[in-house]
Amino acid sequence: MNTGAFNLVNAAWQAGVKVCFANPGTTEMPIVAALDRVSGMRVVLGLFEGVCTGAADGWARMTGWPAATLLHLGPGLANGLANLHNARRARTPVINWIGNHATRHLAFDAPLTSDIAALAGSVGWTRTVKSAEEMAEVSLEAVRTALGPPGGVASLIISSECQWDTCSEPLPITPPSILCKEISSSTLYEAAHLLRKGRGGILLGGSALTVRGLNAAARVATATACGVWIETFPSRQECGWCVPHFPVLPYFPEPAREALANTASLILAGAREPVSFFAYPDQPSRLAPESASLLTLADPDAGVDAAIALEALAQELNAPAVVALPRAVPAFTPSGQSIDADTLCRVMAAFTPENAIVVNEAATTGLTWNVMHASNAAPHTMLFLTGGAIGQGLPNALGAALARPDRRVIAFQADGSGLYTPQALWSMARESADITVIVCANRRYRILQTELKRAGIINPGPKAQSLTDLTQPVIDWTALAKGFGVPACRVCTDSELADSLMRSFAEPGPSLIEAVLV
Amino acid sequence: MNTGAFNLVNAAWQAGVKVCFANPGTTEMPIVAALDRVSGMRVVLGLFEGVCTGAADGWARMTGWPAATLLHLGPGLANGLANLHNARRARTPVINWIGNHATRHLAFDAPLTSDIAALAGSVGWTRTVKSAEEMAEVSLEAVRTALGPPGGVASLIISSECQWDTCSEPLPITPPSILCKEISSSTLYEAAHLLRKGRGGILLGGSALTVRGLNAAARVATATACGVWIETFPSRQECGWCVPHFPVLPYFPEPAREALANTASLILAGAREPVSFFAYPDQPSRLAPESASLLTLADPDAGVDAAIALEALAQELNAPAVVALPRAVPAFTPSGQSIDADTLCRVMAAFTPENAIVVNEAATTGLTWNVMHASNAAPHTMLFLTGGAIGQGLPNALGAALARPDRRVIAFQADGSGLYTPQALWSMARESADITVIVCANRRYRILQTELKRAGIINPGPKAQSLTDLTQPVIDWTALAKGFGVPACRVCTDSELADSLMRSFAEPGPSLIEAVLV
């Protein structure tokens, strides 16, 4: 006889789930045992649940297939929620296995009892498993639901008896397939019509940011002279000198509205209607002009592939093929000067290896990279912070590196947000993941200093200042990295930065570079 | 005109809230500005929200009065939930100020939008503020609700316009008082009757663990020859050689049931009915014998003070005063040998300064301390992990130290659980808090290795083993501490441990001792 725990893990494995990012406790012991019985399933320990959920997100962004997390009751899930929020916004397929007390024990309200369903429900589909007998079936259902459409987070709440009870051998499982809806010809016609009228625009997101999607967008742009923008916080984007380059829709609402001001119609290709990230007094939420016609060409939640839709649109418009002009990677000659955000990005653009994965949670410096420099670098894939819940970067880099051991991962990391989940460094060392962590050490929450000004607080008092300052004491990232087993160095000049980057890219395993910014 | 943000902060200040543990973002900028305008309100920055909520819990355990936290929307709250779960279980008064988008912006589902009320509701009372005009009133209501009875977590969800809108000067505020219900004479009579019948027992929790409560329990025990136990995970307990000492109800259900097996009646004084922490196959949830009569003398949720109730019970029983026999602190002569859990506790017992606050999240080693050694040490206060959500210790120690700068705090910390919220070390350094962190570095999740065995997994496979192992790589706590600005050393022998403890106790500010356990 199988246990429910074995059926859960085995069904997921058969459905294509290859890795479990785990931080288990007592209530998950039968699943821990089952992981050993499903020999192909990789298990990666995180010291903190936010590492597990962020790594699962990174894994799925690079493979298109969900990883599982193993979490300990409500508090374990709570610790992983911020990165699940980001996964939800990225529409990343993620499966959570969350242990719970035996059902008969719940009425006694033991210390770890809490409303797990309320927490899990806040990030997506949630199912409380009823018996060991149904474990294989719900395990598969979770994979299917995570894949979508709409894709996203699928959580199973699994009480102890569902894990340890024995049950029958389940039916063999066929891995689910990803369903893709075809685009309607009337939508295509309407989009082409709007763009032909002139002053058109396209906002790209989701699979529109693959090479295929970007090429199709370039064709459409050439044929109709429309504007093309990339959504401000894409989940995954192909970048570099050999792919068509479009501007990123600005983060702050004023320049974003200005960018779109002249647009008569905005076609949404894998992106949703652009709205302000935050609300400000006397600023509208919508970014497109009120007069603009909005048309959804490919709704990211409906399973229409935005790249295919853009190709169909290009064809509808009889758009000619576009040959992207290869741009040369600008050489960088180090001068021994101190590093600012722009210098850091220029050095990175010069040295980023071809086919790298850049996980961008570098906040203000990261926006500089996206807007100004990523298109100059060698071809690479970028993963971005999607839900605004900082602490995604290092865990995402871990998951991406394990998913693609053939590619160098660059964790391009702000210091403030890196401190939400620094424990990911330990798992990087444990798994010998090929990751170069670049910490942009500006030693402040620079974005909040900007937001204080935007809120009219021009001369912040000592408390407001202290809440945006990270210098008392200065955080020593090289020591933190050493503590977690990752070799590290600190650089203060562009020459040191270039040297350390080249050294890191040449060596297997993780290393961390603390770039002190002026 | 005031802003809503100012009225919120000012009302809390007038109601006795003296500190705000903050990790704000853009949506909380008006509150950040208001903190500067309320001059007495202390502001402490946490690098991670779990630090803020755990510190607020520690502060309130030592003062009896809530601190505020300032958190950034749903993800910020999510990061703080685990320690709010612990506060809920400890019935600690904690107030959360959680920013949200402007109400008009919510419909646009911007990236950081999420169901904040669902998250906050999982840990206690939650109110979504409706207008700036009501900010002072709800601020006071949150303080009142947190104080109880039943005390606990009170969360305000505060949209941007409630913060930045102007509003009228509120009415002056009278700080709420803590209501205490009197114990009924029939309950007293019934308790005395049960104990007089013989084979009685008392389970102590909450305020029964003050010196006053423990003394009264000792009187009752002497008068009736009843058994007395301390609940396994108390919020706060007075310990040491000059206070009556009772056994802790064991953690695992088998010895706990054995301890209570002969009990005909169990009186609950500030504790709830004892139940198993986890469920196991073929083990009941209840720990008291089915035949035992249970009587609630002081319900911790009903506002009956357990210490006063026990005093009344002692009087009802005409119990004589009991003079606790002073026990000598056992001297410890270092021998230069390696350190195991027992040695570590013996050294701690010998050197703990009088009036220290021991924040105990040392897991297996911490249970050894509680059961065997705390009663031998100089008189001190112990704060304990209450909800099983690990990561409480370091933040709790921070809050306790700021609440009581006159007392040395010892953060007695397991290495595994310390890695959930190590960011608290930075705030300790920033605030120059007098904290000695002792990390019990057994470099494994020892409790999980025990639980694997209990689940029948006698020869765990390589994956199960890897999920309980913290040696690949070994975590260097001295480097982590240095990274966060806290001086640290590593000790491997009892002599080194004794030396470093004495040095740390003599010096102001925080320091960390990594005690490598064999």
Check if the interface score ipTM surpasses 0.95: yes
Q: Residue B216 sits in which domain range? A: 185-316
Secondary structure class of B375 (helix, strand, coil): helix
Residue A92's domain is classified under what CATH number?
Answer: 3.40.50.970
Burial of A129-146, coded b for 16+ CB within 10 Å and e otherwise, reads beebbbbbbbbbbbbbbb
In the block, residue with structure tokens 């607020």: B56
- Asked whether B56 and B87 are in contact (CB, 8 A), the reply is yes
pLDDT, residue B324, reads 67
Within 8 A of B454 by CB-CB distance, chain A residues are 29
Of B36, B110, B454, the CB nearest to A277: B110
pLDDT, residue B429, reads 98
In the block, residue with structure tokens 């200065």: A474
| Alpha carbon B426 to chain centroid, angstroms | 20
Mark yes or no for CB contact B112/A462 under 8 Å: no
Q: Are residues A11 and A155 in the same domain?
A: yes
Where a domain ends, among A167, A200, A227?
A: A167
- For residue A468, pLDDT over 80 is answered with yes
Q: Are residues B104 and B216 in the same domain?
A: no
CA distance A206 to chain B (A): 15
CA distance A466 to chain B (A): 7
Of B45, B386, B447, the CB nearest to A466: B45
Residues A316-329: what's their mean pLDDT? 82
- For residue B188, pLDDT over 80 is answered with yes
Mark yes or no for CB contact A285/B105 under 8 Å: yes
Query: Which residue, among A72, A420, A437, would best test binding to B if mutated, counting the most B CBs under 10 Å from its CB?
Result: A420
Residue B445's closest CA among B372, B390, B515? Answer: B390
Q: Are residues A22 and A159 in the same domain?
A: yes
Domain-embedded: residue A325: no
Mark yes or no for CB contact A110/B276 under 8 Å: yes
Q: Are residues B243 and B152 in the same domain?
A: no
Mark yes or no for CB contact A118/B114 under 8 Å: no
- For residue B241, pLDDT over 90 is answered with no
Mark yes or no for CB contact B426/A82 under 8 Å: no
Of A85, A426, A464, the CB nearest to B475: A426
CA distance A465 to chain B (A): 9
Query: Which residue, among B20, B42, B420, B490, would best test binding to A if mutated, counting the most A CBs under 10 Å from its CB?
Result: B420
Residue A207's domain is classified under what CATH number?
Answer: 3.40.50.1220
The span from the first CA to the last CA of chain A, in angstroms, equals 64
pLDDT in tens, B131-166: 999 999 999 999 999 999 999 999 999 999 999 999
CA–CA distance, B392 with B402 (Å, rounded to integer): 16
- For residue A138, pLDDT over 90 is answered with yes
* Dihedral angle over CA of A420, A423, A425, A426, nearest 10: 180
Q: Are residues A109 and A213 in the same domain?
A: no
Within 8 A of B43 by CB-CB distance, chain A residues are 463, 466-467
> Which residues, 6+ apart, have CB-to-CB distance to B134 below 8 Å?
none
Q: Are residues B134 and B193 in the same domain?
A: no
Mark yes or no for CB contact B47/A420 under 8 Å: yes
Residue of B nearest to A48 (CA): B420
- Asked whether B38 and B13 are in contact (CB, 8 A), the reply is yes
Domain-embedded: residue B326: no
Q: Are residues B401 and B312 in the same domain?
A: no
pLDDT, residue A417, reads 97
CA distance A416 to chain B (A): 8
CA–CA distance, A171 with A163 (Å, rounded to integer): 18
Domain-embedded: residue A110: yes
Q: Are residues A248 and A111 in the same domain?
A: no
Residue of B nearest to A164 (CA): B281
> Which residues, 6+ apart, have CB-to-CB distance to B446 below 8 Å?
B363, B364, B468
Within 8 A of B286 by CB-CB distance, chain A residues are 108
Domain-embedded: residue A336: no
pLDDT, residue A431, reads 98
Residue B407, CA distances (Å) to B211, B404, B434 in order? 17, 6, 8
Of A107, A278, A473, the CB nearest to B101: A278
Within 8 A of B111 by CB-CB distance, chain A residues are 89, 233, 277, 386-388
Mark yes or no for CB contact B275/A429 under 8 Å: no
Within 8 A of A514 by CB-CB distance, chain B residues are none
Where a domain ends, among B167, B194, B221?
A: B167
Mark yes or no for CB contact B466/A75 under 8 Å: no
Q: Are residues A484 and A347 in the same domain?
A: yes
- Asked whether A125 and A152 are in contact (CB, 8 A), the reply is yes
Of A160, A423, A426, the CB nearest to B279: A160
Mark yes or no for CB contact A108/B286 under 8 Å: yes
- For residue B326, pLDDT over 90 is answered with no
> Which residues, 6+ apart, have CB-to-CB distance to A506 below 8 Å?
none
Domain-embedded: residue A177: no
Confidence of residue A324 (pLDDT cuts 50, 70, 90): low
Mean pLDDT of chain B: 96
Domain-embedded: residue A327: no
> Which residues, 6+ apart, have CB-to-CB distance to B443 below 8 Å?
B415, B469, B470, B471, B474, B475, B516, B517
> Which residues, 6+ apart, have CB-to-CB distance to A56 below 8 Å?
A21, A66, A67, A68, A69, A87, A94, A95, A399
Mark yes or no for CB contact A111/B233 under 8 Å: yes
Mark yes or no for CB contact B277/A110 under 8 Å: yes
Q: Are residues B411 and B440 in the same domain?
A: yes
Where a domain ends, among B316, B333, B365?
A: B316
Within 8 A of A447 by CB-CB distance, chain B residues are 26
Return the H-helix or E-strand segment holding A60. Answer: helix A49-63
pLDDT, residue B351, reads 94
Mark yes or no for CB contact B473/A48 under 8 Å: no
Residue of B nearest to A472 (CA): B430
Domain tally for chain A?
Answer: 3
Within 8 A of A27 by CB-CB distance, chain B residues are 278
Within 8 A of B283 by CB-CB distance, chain A residues are none
- For residue B242, pLDDT over 80 is answered with yes
- For residue A338, pLDDT over 70 is answered with yes
Confidence of residue A158 (pLDDT cuts 50, 70, 90): very high
Residues A195-200: what's their mean pLDDT? 97
Domain-embedded: residue A6: yes
CA–CA distance, B228 with B250 (Å, rounded to integer): 13
Residues B294-306: what's their mean pLDDT? 95
Burial of B302-324, coded b for 16+ CB within 10 Å and e otherwise, reads ebbbbbbbbbbbbebbebeebee
Q: Are residues B216 and B262 in the same domain?
A: yes
Mark yes or no for CB contact B463/A43 under 8 Å: yes
User: Cβ atoms within 10 A of the Cβ of B518, count?
Assistant: 10
Within 8 A of A37 by CB-CB distance, chain B residues are 461
Mark yes or no for CB contact B479/A474 under 8 Å: no
Domain-embedded: residue B251: yes
Of B45, B121, B419, the CB nearest to A47: B419
Peptide linkage before A150 cis (omega within 30 of 0): yes
Mark yes or no for CB contact A35/B463 under 8 Å: yes
Residues A413-422: what's their mean pLDDT? 98
Of B104, B272, B467, the CB nearest to A22: B467
Q: Are residues B285 and B366 in the same domain?
A: no
CA distance A90 to chain B (A): 10
CA–CA distance, B75 with B50 (Å, rounded to integer): 11
Mark yes or no for CB contact B74/A122 under 8 Å: yes
Within 8 A of A428 by CB-CB distance, chain B residues are none
pLDDT in tens, B72-95: 999 999 999 999 999 999 999 999
pLDDT, residue B266, reads 98
